[in-house]
């Protein structure tokens, strides 16, 4: 455990590195701070902090920089304190961004990722409210042309998805109407999980009684739910991450990172067990080796009975955590309010 004096020195070193991205020695630290200590005392304390694993010494100089453990200690102290006030212009940008007349949940969630990346110059990620407890509130079949029909699914969370599928050329408007009626009577109002089970059991039997058509609605529904899950995920400012990559990084790794941000399973895995509220993972705390030079700030949001979602910032380990955490906290509350207004 660090002493109060060591904690103060670590705090100053972290803040210095966040602002200037350069190592700092005892003489510079004394000059830049109001510490009433000698340079030798500061140097000895820095050595002790380094021995404890909170600082690292750069090979090219005698200066120190924070280690992952040092950032962790610093961030844990921040999370236990009141957030700093968010600048008025940032508040106005966020509030104004959520005032548009949105019609779908995912439009609001996508806007949050867009605003976060704009306000921070980092890569922002946003995940819409979870779909596992969603209920089917609307179902339509629309004939497009000979042999093709579009299924449209609406949930109580405001999600709207569609899937085009093939039918036999003789598939009539009356058969479409019968299937829609069956779905409305048997499936609307049920959770998506219940719908999936009934599509595998009861519904095919009922449809065969009234419609002479072989349509695999289970497969169609599975595709639609998969799209629902994929469409929950939004990225803002994916190219911002390039500004913080190591110049010596292998090109294939750069491609892998960009591919991951385009929605690969690896990026979803980062959010498999998010903490409620605000959380921070730093460097090697992230499971994916590609991201060991980055930090991830996450914040969950609640939609008053319509499920939880998540927003996140991916940036360098020396990001200004205090400022970013404050923006994330403000954003999560405004996003929740906007989604709750949409669901009224």
Contacts 24+ apart (CB under 8 A), 175-183: 175/211, 175/212, 175/213, 176/141, 176/143, 176/149, 178/210, 178/211, 179/141, 179/207, 179/211, 179/215, 180/139, 180/140, 180/141, 182/206, 182/207, 182/210, 183/139
Tokens of 331: 């954003």
Tokens of 16: 């210095």
> Are the beta carbons of 344 and 100 closer than 8 angstroms?
no
Question: Under 8 Å CB-to-CB from 130, ≥6 apart: which residues?
Answer: 232, 307, 308, 309
| Cα–Cα distance measured from residue 83 to residue 299, given in angstroms and rounded to the nearest whole number | 14
How many other C-beta atoms lie within 10 A of the C-beta of residue 103? 10
Residue 148 to residues 176, 218, 245: CA-CA distances in angstroms? 12, 17, 47
| Sign of CA pseudo-dihedral 50, 53, 59, 60 | negative
Residue 293 to residues 29, 210, 214, 280, 316: CA-CA distances in angstroms? 25, 60, 53, 14, 6
Whole-model pTM: value is 0.80
Domains of the chain: 4-79 (1.10.10.10), 88-130+232-342 (3.30.450.40), 136-230 (3.30.390.60)
> What distance, in Å, lies between the first and last C-alpha atoms of the chain?
50
Q: Which residues pair with 282 in a beta bridge?
A: 295
> Are the beta carbons of 257 and 314 closer than 8 angstroms?
no
E-only strand ranges, the chain: 55-57, 64-66, 123-127, 136-145, 148-155, 160-166, 233-236, 278-282, 294-302, 308-316
Question: Under 8 Å CB-to-CB from 143, ≥6 apart: which residues?
Answer: 149, 171, 173, 176
Q: Which residues pair with 116 in a beta bridge?
A: none
Q: Which residue has the tokens 């949001």?
A: 301
Rounded-to-10 torsion of CA 119, 105, 291, 244: -20
CA-nearest of 156, 157, 213 to 182 is: 213
> HSE (CB half, 13 Å, CA atoms) of 100?
15
pLDDT in tens, the chain (344 residues): 899 999 999 999 999 999 999 999 999 999 988 889 999 999 999 999 999 999 998 765 678 999 999 999 999 988 888 778 999 999 999 999 999 888 788 899 999 999 999 999 999 999 988 766 788 899 998 888 878 889 898 888 777 888 888 888 778 888 889 989 999 999 999 988 888 888 888 888 888 888 877 778 878 877 887 777 777 889 999 999 888 887 777 888 888 888 888 766 677 777 776 677 899 999 999 988 889 989 999 999 988 766 789 999 999 999 999 999 999 999 999 999 998 887 66
> Are the beta carbons of 139 and 151 closer than 8 angstroms?
yes
Pairing of strands 160-166, 294-302: unpaired
């Amino acid at each position: 455990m660090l002493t109060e004096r060591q904690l103060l020195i670590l705090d100053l070193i972290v803040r210095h590195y966040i602002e200037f991205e350069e190592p700092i020695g005892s003489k510079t630290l004394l000059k830049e701070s109001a510490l009433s200590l000698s340079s030798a005392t500061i140097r000895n304390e820095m050595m002790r902090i380094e021995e404890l694993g909170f600082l690292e010494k750069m090979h090219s100089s005698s200066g120190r920089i924070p280690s992952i453990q040092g950032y962790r200690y610093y961030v844990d102290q921040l999370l236990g304190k009141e957030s700093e006030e968010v600048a008025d212009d940032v508040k106005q940008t966020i509030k104004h961004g959520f005032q548009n007349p949105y019609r779908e949940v995912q439009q609001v969630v996508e806007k949050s990722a867009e605003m976060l990346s704009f306000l921070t110059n980092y890569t922002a990620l946003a995940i819409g409210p979870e779909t596992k407890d969603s209920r089917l509130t609307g179902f339509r079949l629309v004939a497009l042309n000979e042999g093709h029909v579009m299924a449209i699914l609406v949930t109580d969370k405001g999600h709207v998805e569609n899937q085009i599928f093939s039918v036999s050329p003789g598939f009539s408007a009356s058969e479409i109407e019968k299937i829609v009626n069956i779905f409305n009577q048997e499936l609307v109002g049920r959770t998506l999980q219940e719908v999936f089970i009934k599509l595998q059991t009861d519904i095919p039997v009922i449809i065969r009684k009234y419609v002479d058509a072989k349509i695999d609605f289970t497969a169609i529904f599975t595709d639609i739910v998969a799209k629902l899950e994929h469409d929950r995920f939004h990225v803002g400012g994916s190219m911002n991450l390039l500004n913080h990559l190591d110049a010596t990084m292998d090109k294939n790794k750069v491609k892998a990172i960009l591919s991951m941000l385009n929605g690969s399973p690896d990026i979803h895995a980062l959010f498999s067990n998010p903490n409620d509220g605000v959380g921070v993972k730093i460097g090697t705390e992230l499971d994916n080796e590609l991201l060991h030079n980055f930090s991830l700030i996450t914040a969950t949001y609640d939609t008053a009975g319509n499920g939880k979602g998540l927003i996140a910032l991916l940036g360098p380990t020396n990001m200004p955590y205090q400022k970013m955490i404050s923006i994330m906290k403000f954003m999560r509350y405004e996003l929740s309010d906007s989604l709750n207004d949409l669901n009224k």
